[in-house]
Structure 1
């Protein structure tokens, strides 16, 4: 039981980060109707921004996560204004080709610019842990989780309380009606895409203290991100939170039963079951 409790605790903290990096994917789909297959590559770029900020400016990766968010937000805004806006009304296959092509461009650009070596950071708290009764809390996991909670709370406030958030939700519901009410739908699309990729970059920088960064690191998160949003419901922010925590706990607990190489076995079996029995996800609605 102690091992189970420890696994659940670790899973919740990891799942909080999964939720943040997946919120960006579900936000882009919810507002723009585009499934961004290159979402994890923006996570990789965020990790590189935080690593270079640590290496050359001495900025802690947890603080560098805000810098990563800002840099990738600007990149996402520019990409939506120049590329993605051209395929909003195009057939889904055109959107898929664009996002898959972006994967190739971003990964190979990172290889050319940064090389293929693995990079990591060194922080004073990297190997620290806190004792919670009989349980131990990994400090880098805890810091990334707390940052994710703060980020998720700010996103909820932005979408629910601010004028821009309400305008974005209105654009997601009915772009034409939003335009008739004086909302610049194109601007909302740029804002949504920038926020979406920026959130993934933020999450990537937050986990840098306990992971290494390299140009293809995004590939190990791509399937997890889509699993999270499908479990929770594609287009649902609350679903991304539920799905992220569920994925983290399932991954962590499954290592008690299966070898670590098979830790995703139970996760993907549940993923297939959700697709078969409830394709709209746990928190998604039918259309």
Structure 2
């Protein structure tokens, strides 16, 4: 029943998106090439948003807390890739592969040594404060080590290609493909593997899972590790076209929260669909709304969805 409902939501959202884009082409009064460029840019931007949102939604879905250190961890992953590239001459995309297990270990360590001590905090206020403090610690450590001067990671595949007449940067295309692969991998892990079964069991009922022999604290640590590894991939794929400063991740944090709540708290498919939809909405909206108008459109849609469906597009009814 839930799968059927999700299918209807996907089809409905796809239909709304297609009809909206068609209306822009036919009645928007804009050059068709400009609209095509905007749509392609929106899809690629949506891939970036998906990458940033995946770790956040996975951590919330199991632990039930919002990770305020998400942006700082993203910046940490970017600087990790920068360090590998600048000091050892490693290919940036190979550095992404190497940074993912490092970030997984970092996430595991944070959860097992800090967050698990607060596991009985029903109100989740202390875990939130811990993630906020972790964010400040990471940002200031990066500032102390690398300074505040913007840095960059050169891409070995710089350039652009034409897609339906629109120009798309190769690093952004790679990031979009990476977002789809990471989202697909997480879905397969959660649905097909024994670890995924344990994670879903803990997310549904931690007490019940512990009664049947699941090590809940270990699953929590593994989940935070997977979330951090997702952030590691995101940071590595974003680094070639993002200016590296200690606060680089902050610019994505707010929209990542919007996407996670919009798609359904804890839903990986929701983060995938929601990120692409928000990317399209923001760029197509910029054709008609100047300045911060597209963001107002995004937040307006966010409020509307929550009014009509408080659990988010792919969230389960409570």
Shared fold by TM > 0.5?
yes
Go from structure 1 to structure 2 and tell me whether the alpha carbon gap of 1:262 and 1:175 turns closer, same or farther (over 3 Å shift): same
**What aligned pairs does 1:186-197 form with structure 2 within 5 A after superposition?**
186-197=217-228
CA contact (8 A) 2:36 2:164 kept: no
Q: Which structure has the larger Rg?
A: 2
Give the one of 123, 126, 149 matched to 2:155: 123
Contact 1:147 1:206 in 2 (8 A): yes
Residues 224-264 of structure 1: per-residue CA shift (max 9 Å, x gap): 11011011111111111111111111122122223355442
**Correspondence list, 1:99-248, <5 A:** 99-126=131-158, 128-248=159-279
Counterpart position of 2:24: none
Distance in 2, matches of 1:256 and 1:138, equals 20
Alpha-carbon distance in structure 2 between the residues aligned to 1:281 and 1:232 = 5
Q: CA RMSD in A?
A: 1.6
85-94 vs 71-80, which moves further: 85-94
TM-score normalised by structure 1 residue count? 0.94
Which residue number in structure 1 is paired with residue 35 of structure 2?
A: 4
Q: 1:39 aligns with which of 53, 70, 84?
A: 70
* TM-aligned CA deviation for residue 95 of structure 1: 2.1
Deviation at 1:6, TM superposition (A): 2.0
- Confirm whether residue 48 of structure 1 aligns to residue 79 of structure 2: yes
User: Which runs of 4 or more aligned residues in structure 1 lie more than 4 Å from their structure 2 counterparts after TM superposition?
Assistant: none
The residue correspondences of 1:74-89 to structure 2 (distance < 5 A) are: 74-89=105-120
- In 2, the alpha carbon distance for the partners of 1:146 and 1:202 equals 12
Q: Which residue number corresponds to residue 128 of structure 2?
A: 96
Gaps of 5+ in 1: none
